[in-house]
Structure 1
């Protein structure tokens, strides 16, 4: 069968499919037949050519930069053919086009194969760009294989460009020409060129990302178990990990790994997932110079696990502690019920911290609770103590009180009158030399007195390796527990948000929509619960009732810069975020609104790490 007869046979098969969805499509490949059916389902018009135009494409993107040398080389290799070379993003929008002849350029201008136009399958039906993205593999669409009649004059061969680290499709490289000039050689040519662009994407990545990728590949080659890698902006999972764990479980493993390896190079430990799976994690932190590139973890599910886990911690509300007499002179603020109950938590690292604190309380071991500022260290200690010692009393001593005065034995008699007493010494890393000495003396007297007192202290984990004065008091503690920050507690974010909103407006029904919750989940919350509470208070101020949207959140929630911004930069960032919200994320319109060039806006978006818009 010659080419013309073949094209006629394909045209007949396509026409029959348009009339009957169950028509025989054996005249074409399974890839083309599946694409035809998707095109019919999408309601693509086969007659009128309606192509969407997008003015906000990023022609200077990383993909475009990495593809340019390959396109230049490809242009030289195909200069004897009248064709166009097109690069698209992962939404089938043309980023660039290079013509080997003016005639070819004129032909493809007529069907809008030009920068800014969208060639998605759901818009134009079966074609070399859209069908490549839909199928995830190299595709050649020749002549009447095109779903749209106005494209049947041409042949298009596309190949997906993969990010070698994440495995995501970043775009498509496409060669298009008149169908009568098409040859199967083009299929191999574009496939090889797309592979070269993927290699350039890897080279373009930082040394840290390359080191993470190489370690991940080596680990994957050495084991049959699940292998996962977590970096600053990338996550990878081998086939075993994708088959063994759901996306939510992989996220939980990532949060736990980031927390565990925040201050350790290597570790092996068990993690219990919500499904009941017990996972043995063996991990390594990858460091390049002074930068942490990420973490590579081998995850093995222990045999016989998988039943739903029974919560080990019951919900509790703290009793109101009795305040000591004024004559004691102690600096004791009123102790309120905790903001977030451990029994509501699902994150494995938080549950483990709660278990460890509870064990210390039961065994009356003085416990040191460390973690970032605002993570809920104090709340966690209080809840565990009052859950076990129901009739006990909590006393809080801030670092400043030890700098101001000492506590004499007479004071202790009044303070510790209750049968069960918890003394929490807060922020001991802020003690002066004199305050640390006074704390040391007090703890020594408490131990010698034989009183029924539970001792706990909190401090910032950033100070653990420092030479600050508080270190002289560490000998009094028999256990230490590290509390995870919010950024490692993705599972708990919705409940945290709900608890905070209830505390901010107890008489109102406030909710957070899905888009706003996505912003909250992505933001790293460097000041943890304190900052989350501030952000939600800001949102409640703008939306006092009903459903909070992402526009109600502070502008900084859309920005993740690697350094502290100046006041001027913060103001500029907030203005850009507001403009993007006003223009619904359209960067071209936002640049016009702000009175700046598009390139300047792109640079500032990158500098301030503005996301989610």
Structure 2
């Protein structure tokens, strides 16, 4: 015990020296950190300092967008319950976090330790990333990719000095991706190095549960596929996660490109509400009926099983929009709608057909889709192709101000399109105003078209705008860009031409491949931002992969935080400076190679 106390005093002295500043406010440390401080802790101190963490005042940041129904939570619950029972006589807390160091759950065996941890915000919702609160048993575990025991003065943050914590990463056994961290925290005087072994063992148990859970979902999908195949003589396919299956009939009826299109549409049907039943036309001209059954284990979707029937094999007729007149067209800011002389993805083709039909029949229309997917631009572009002499008037939901009855309609006899954007965001008073205006428009004898856009992914019946739905006769959905990547080369080329104007700019094949691998969580709006950034680096000529923003080079399936995005861009620049050499990249960044490899996988960076 005296040796332990003496060692902690030496660590505290080393930390004080590390944090010491000279009279000018510059960092005064010139000598290496003493050997009494573990190398992984010293490296963490340096990262914490470089990230701007204030050792005296840093506080965890709260987040309210946690996924408390995740597979990780489900697989961890029985392990944490058993661990709490086994260690009930010790005053400690068991914490589970996600892969971003945000605390998902906390259970304690002693009320006092819970109160003390509340004072340092080690509680559900708070972020304990190393770049936020400094060296600790959660964020540093994620940075290093290994289990750690951090005690007393090894914490960078002064407010954590009285605690000891042992943390271990929880990895998906199949992908190797870190899903979260299991952490045990207690007061330093109650701690033991054995905590590291205990938490490591519990984390491995959670990993086994993750493997069983994944196997159960895959097994459920496989069994559903086998049952469907046994009951029918037709084509059967199954899609879920990384699994894709198809019987011999499906293989013989559809070419690889057709199978891929059906698989992608199956993933789209899996995320939609309602029955997964649809009819689609493949680019080869085949019209197929899809009858799907969602498969799950408990409350979790494993995938979808499809019965696929060919309705017809008529020769494909290219979808062509009405040609635009040579006269002026009302300019609209935003994404450029696709050209009318190219083959489109199945979802885009269906959307354009639905909009054109509604406009030609003057049926009031709602256009839905995620924010940034190009709803308004597609709608206005198609209107001017259908009605070349028409005019457009757009009303934004923010600060909606509709005309008074005396000035409700402009003079003239030319056709007009009235568009009301994001009606799902309207307040009660704005809904009342718009409802009265829609009545006036419907009573007009002028050739008017009425349309509205909504960005919500689900229809909440409690929102005020639902009272307006009775005023509309048709609806279409603009699919997110990630579901119509077949269109990306055309969309990217047209967006670039719109941004560059008369300049001679194009996308190199390499740059297009980078764009095609990204998932575009903010849709076409984010594509515009990426190409704008590329034009700042290369205003004319052929845009290369290195001209694109860092996030385009990542296959991450979620939107990164500003700190994560900055870290990702730093790694990409370091890789380029090192010509792709990972050893030199890790040395330049001052991190272990294992940590670099983990970050490359986490951010989906292609370091080839």
TM-score, structure 2 as length reference: 0.59
Deviation at 1:284, TM superposition (A): 2.8
How far apart in 2 are the matches of 1:612 and 1:342?
A: 37
How far apart in 2 are the matches of 1:214 and 1:522?
A: 32
Does 2:370 match 1:372?
A: yes
Q: Any conservation in 2 of the 1:264–1:285 contact (CA below 8 Å)?
A: no
Deviation at 1:361, TM superposition (A): 1.5
When residues 508 and 217 of structure 1 are mapped into structure 2, their CA distance, relative to the original with a 3 A threshold, is: farther
How far apart in 2 are the matches of 1:565 and 1:504?
A: 26
1:178 maps to what in 2?
none
1:454-533 equivalent positions in 2, closer than 5 A = 454-533=449-528
2:102 maps to what in 1?
none
Q: Any conservation in 2 of the 1:252–1:490 contact (CA below 8 Å)?
A: no
1:413 maps to what in 2?
409
Q: Any conservation in 2 of the 1:274–1:309 contact (CA below 8 Å)?
A: no
Deviation at 1:488, TM superposition (A): 1.1
1:606 maps to what in 2?
601
Q: Any conservation in 1 of the 2:578–2:584 contact (CA below 8 Å)?
A: yes
Deviation at 1:486, TM superposition (A): 0.9
1:297-316 equivalent positions in 2, closer than 5 A = 297-302=306-311, 305=313, 307-316=315-324
Q: Any conservation in 2 of the 1:340–1:496 contact (CA below 8 Å)?
A: yes
1:355 maps to what in 2?
353
User: Structure 1, residues 90-143: CA drift from partner, whole Å, max 9, x if none?
Assistant: xxxxxxxxxxxxxxxxxxxxxxxxxxxxxxxxxxxxxxxxxxxxxxxxxxxxxx
* Structure 1 unmatched ranges of 5 or more: 1-164, 167-199, 323-332
Residue from 293, 302, 312 that aligns with 1:284: 293
User: Structure 1, residues 461-491: CA drift from partner, whole Å, max 9, x if none?
Assistant: 3252352221121110011111111111122
How far apart in 2 are the matches of 1:560 and 1:466?
A: 35
When residues 437 and 609 of structure 1 are mapped into structure 2, their CA distance, relative to the original with a 3 A threshold, is: same
Does 2:278 match 1:269?
A: yes
Deviation at 1:510, TM superposition (A): 3.0
1:149 maps to what in 2?
none
How far apart in 1 are the matches of 2:606 and 2:295?
A: 26
How far apart in 2 are the matches of 1:506 and 1:526?
A: 26
1:439 maps to what in 2?
434
Deviation at 1:345, TM superposition (A): 5.0
TM-score, structure 1 as length reference: 0.59
Does 2:548 match 1:553?
A: yes
Farther-moved stretch of structure 1 (533-542 vs 235-244) = 235-244
1:150-299 equivalent positions in 2, closer than 5 A = 205=214, 207-288=216-297, 291-299=300-308
* Structure 2 unmatched ranges of 5 or more: 1-173, 176-208
User: Structure 1, residues 334-371: CA drift from partner, whole Å, max 9, x if none?
Assistant: 67994433554511111111111122122221111111
How far apart in 2 are the matches of 1:577 and 1:287?
A: 38
1:537 maps to what in 2?
532
> SS of the residue aligned with 1:464?
coil
Q: Any conservation in 2 of the 1:316–1:341 contact (CA below 8 Å)?
A: no
How far apart in 2 are the matches of 1:290 and 1:519?
A: 35
> SS of the residue aligned with 1:534?
helix
Deviation at 1:440, TM superposition (A): 0.9
Deviation at 1:574, TM superposition (A): 1.7
Deviation at 1:210, TM superposition (A): 4.5
When residues 234 and 594 of structure 1 are mapped into structure 2, their CA distance, relative to the original with a 3 A threshold, is: farther
Count of residues in correspondence between the two structures: 403
Deviation at 1:580, TM superposition (A): 3.5
How far apart in 2 are the matches of 1:235 and 1:355?
A: 30
Q: Any conservation in 2 of the 1:347–1:489 contact (CA below 8 Å)?
A: yes
1:591 maps to what in 2?
586
Deviation at 1:203, TM superposition (A): 5.4
User: Structure 1, residues 298-354: CA drift from partner, whole Å, max 9, x if none?
Assistant: 323335x153333343453685357xxxxxxxxxx8679944335545111111111
Deviation at 1:209, TM superposition (A): 4.3
Deviation at 1:435, TM superposition (A): 1.0
User: Structure 1, residues 560-600: CA drift from partner, whole Å, max 9, x if none?
Assistant: 44554332222112222333344455544432332222222
Q: Any conservation in 1 of the 2:285–2:316 contact (CA below 8 Å)?
A: yes
Residue from 427, 430, 454 that aligns with 2:425: 430
Q: What is the RMSD computed on CA atoms of the aligned residues?
A: 3.3
When residues 319 and 396 of structure 1 are mapped into structure 2, their CA distance, relative to the original with a 3 A threshold, is: farther
How far apart in 1 are the matches of 2:551 and 2:215?
A: 26
Deviation at 1:502, TM superposition (A): 1.2
> SS of the residue aligned with 2:457?
helix
Structure with max Cα Rg: 1
1:320 maps to what in 2?
328
User: Structure 1, residues 255-286: CA drift from partner, whole Å, max 9, x if none?
Assistant: 33333332235333221112112222222334
> SS of the residue aligned with 1:261?
helix
How far apart in 2 are the matches of 1:518 and 1:272?
A: 26
How far apart in 2 are the matches of 1:435 and 1:479?
A: 22
Q: Any conservation in 2 of the 1:228–1:241 contact (CA below 8 Å)?
A: yes
Q: Any conservation in 1 of the 2:225–2:305 contact (CA below 8 Å)?
A: yes
User: Structure 1, residues 372-415: CA drift from partner, whole Å, max 9, x if none?
Assistant: 1122211222233223323221111111242xx4421222232x
When residues 224 and 317 of structure 1 are mapped into structure 2, their CA distance, relative to the original with a 3 A threshold, is: farther
Deviation at 1:422, TM superposition (A): 1.0
> SS of the residue aligned with 1:471?
helix
1:382 maps to what in 2?
380
1:130 maps to what in 2?
none
Farther-moved stretch of structure 1 (496-505 vs 343-352) = 343-352
How far apart in 1 are the matches of 2:349 and 2:418?
A: 23
How far apart in 1 are the matches of 2:210 and 2:458?
A: 39
> SS of the residue aligned with 1:461?
coil
Deviation at 1:291, TM superposition (A): 4.6
